[in-house]
Amino acid sequence: MSAQTATIRGWGFLAPAVLWTLAFFIVPFVVMGAMSLATLDGRTLVWGLSLDNYRELAGQAYLARAIAVSLEITLTVTLVSVLLAYPLAWIIAYRVPPRWQRLVLLLAILPFWTSYVVRSYAWLLVLARDGVVNQTLMGLGLIAEPLTLANTRFATVTGFVHFFVMLLTLTIYANLVQLSPNYRKAAMDLGANAFQTFRHVILPLTLPGIMTGAFLTFVLCIGDYITPQILGGNTELTVPQVIMVQLGRRADFPLAAALAIVLMGIVTLAYLAMARWLRLDRL
């Protein structure tokens, strides 16, 4: 087989996947970008190079508000999830006997495989006005009236944190078990106490893993529609919720496209801000 036929054959193997990605990902993406620069004249679409949609994003209070709400929720969720998951991953990696670790880890992330729509619904059951939490608290005599838990930002954040605690426990655990135990032993031998060992040795060594998990959380959280829609209700809207409103009720595709581009811009900024810690190639 000559080198040339080998190369031609290589292209043959590569082409289907590349063409698929070009046709169904790159082309739609470019069209969406062009759509964000188009405008609506009544119900007719006018293609062009107008920045009207982006101007509207800055000008309309509810659109700017949605971006702020999305950012606030996403940052809260990312921070809380990391803070909750790290100790659990630590306990599994260092306190649970090695032969049980895989089982405990599997148990810790089993509810991860609840259907995605159903998971938010299950939290709605827990947080509803006559749901488990309220009835338990009232049964214990801790509160007289049911608390409003569902249809609040608290519910959205709880639903998200539940999902991402499992995801982050997995990624941080994977990071911790890769560390050689010699680092801890050396730090202890040199007189560091448990906290100093954590603060100056383990934490810096696991930072890339934490950041990778945090970035993943950020990306998945800010683009999610279901969780805020089911748990947060319509009290305040996130960017994906506003996109869906534009698509559905108002059929304003240009504005929806512009919002999607902004969403991508935010993710890109987050990536740049965290790039020096990220090791995405190691995922």
Q: Which residues, 37 to 76, sit near other proteins by CB under 8 A?
A: none
Which of 4, 16, 181, 272 binds other proteins (CB under 8 A)? It is: 16
Which of 40, 71, 75, 126 binds other proteins (CB under 8 A)? It is: 126
DSSP-assigned states of every residue in 203-235: HHHHHHHHHHHHHHHHHHHHT--HHIIIIITTS
Binding map of other proteins across residues 215-244, x = CB under 8 A, - = no contact:
----x--xxxxx---x---------x--x-
Nearer to other proteins by Cβ, of 127 and 210: the residue is 127
Which of 60, 135, 196, 234 binds other proteins (CB under 8 A)? It is: 135
121: contact with other proteins by CB under 8 A? yes
Candidates 52-60, 182-190, 201-209, 262-270; binding stretch for other proteins (CB under 8 A):
262-270
Distance CA 241, CA 282 (A): 32
- Collect all residues with Cβ–Cβ distance below 8 Å to 277 and sequence separation of at least 6: 207, 208, 210, 211, 212
Contacts with other proteins in 190-219 (CB under 8 A)? 219
Q: How far is CA 172 from the centre of its chain?
A: 16
Q: How far is CA 61 from CA 68, 105, 210, in A?
A: 11, 45, 35
Nearer to other proteins by Cβ, of 75 and 247: the residue is 247
111: contact with other proteins by CB under 8 A? yes
Tell which residue, 185, 167, 219, 179, has the closest CA to residue 203. 179
Binding map of other proteins across residues 137-166, x = CB under 8 A, - = no contact:
-------------------------x--xx
Candidates 1-9, 48-56, 173-181, 191-199; binding stretch for other proteins (CB under 8 A):
1-9
- Residue 190 CB, nearest approach to other proteins (Å): 24
Tell me the β-bridge partners of 41. 44
Q: Taking each helix axis from N to C terminus, what angle separates 253-274 and 203-222, rounded to the nearest 10 degrees?
A: 180
Nearer to other proteins by Cβ, of 18 and 186: the residue is 18
Candidates 122-130, 176-184, 185-193, 197-205; binding stretch for other proteins (CB under 8 A):
122-130
Helix (H, G, I), strand (E, B), or coil: what is residue 43?
A: coil
- Residue 88 CB, nearest approach to other proteins (Å): 5
Distance CA 211, CA 225 (A): 24
- Provide the 8-state DSSP code for 39: E
